């Protein structure tokens, strides 16, 4: 499905990012994985994905630094010759109630989740425009669609991703580039692993399907958006949330 394609995935060595990378590699794509700090996890993920027979590259850096995006695109061009797919997945949380949230809590989350997505979108789009083709997939969240208590910073960053997705889609569509977002709901990842079983059970009660999601649920949606099957879909935010946002 993605044979001969080259992808950049931020936050790609664990959780949702790793699941997306696995789907892409399994379907023939070469992948550059960007990560911030966990060298051992990055190495293990790269070794695991190499088993699919496609090329895997790693780049360490902070997405909140615009130089990381430039370096990632340059490395993908050098190693793969092109950039066909960008997945803006990297993100952080610093959850606190509004009255307890510091300026730094707010700006750090905006810098990583929103600014970081912009830096990579801008850098990748320059290459895709020359190629006259590309797929950009931004990870938002149901928190960015409906808000969430204790997540003013996170919700603002993910709502910004939705707006950025629509605006970029309008600008880049005539260049053969689609731009879409995925808004995951309650997905079993490291971020939710700290919750107790009771907390997870209560969260599941609000989900129409009665269960939390898996990273693979998001990954399969990303695979579709990156494929030729989604060639006429752009500017959309797809909620992968089991009905949480209804």
Enumerate the active-site residues.
154
Q: Pick left, alpha or beta for residue 15 (phi over 0 → left; psi -120 to 50 → alpha; otherwise beta).
A: left
What the block records as the tokens of 148 is 């969430």
Q: What angle do CA 41, 44, 45 make, to 5 degrees?
A: 85
Taking a C-beta distance cutoff of 8 angstroms, is the pair 23, 219 a contact? yes
Alpha-carbon distance of 143 to 150, in angstroms, equals 10
Cβ-contact 140, 162 below 8 angstroms: yes
- Tell me the binding residues for NADP(+): 11-14, 89, 154-158, 187
| The residue count for the chain | 246
Q: Please identify which residue in the block is written with the tokens 């950009």.
A: 136
């Amino acid at each position: 499905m993605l044979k001969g394609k080259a992808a950049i995935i931020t936050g790609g060595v664990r959780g949702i990012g790793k699941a997306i990378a696995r789907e892409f590699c399994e379907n023939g794509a070469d992948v550059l994985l960007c990560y911030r700090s966990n060298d051992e996890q990055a190495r293990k993920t790269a070794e695991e994905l190499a088993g699919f027979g496609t090329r895997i590259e790693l780049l360490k850096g902070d997405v909140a630094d615009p130089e990381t995006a430039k370096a990632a695109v340059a490395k993908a061009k050098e190693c793969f010759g092109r950039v066909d797919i960008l997945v803006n997945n990297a993100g952080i949380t610093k959850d606190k109630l509004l009255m307890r949230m510091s300026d730094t809590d707010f700006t750090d989350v905006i810098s990583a989740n929103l600014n970081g997505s912009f830096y990579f979108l801008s850098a990748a789009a320059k290459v895709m425009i020359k190629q006259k083709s590309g797929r950009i997939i931004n990870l938002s969240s149901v928190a960015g669609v409906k808000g969430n208590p204790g997540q003013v910073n996170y919700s603002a960053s993910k709502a910004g991703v939705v707006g950025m997705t629509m605006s970029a889609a309008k600008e880049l569509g005539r260049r053969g580039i689609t731009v879409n977002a995925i808004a995951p709901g309650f997905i079993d990842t490291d971020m939710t692993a700290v919750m107790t079983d009771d907390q997870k059970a209560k969260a599941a009660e609000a989900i129409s399907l009665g269960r939390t999601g898996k990273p693979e649920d998001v990954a399969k949606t990303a695979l579709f958006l990156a494929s030729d099957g989604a060639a006429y879909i752009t500017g959309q935010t797809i909620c992968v949330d089991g009905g949480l946002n209804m």
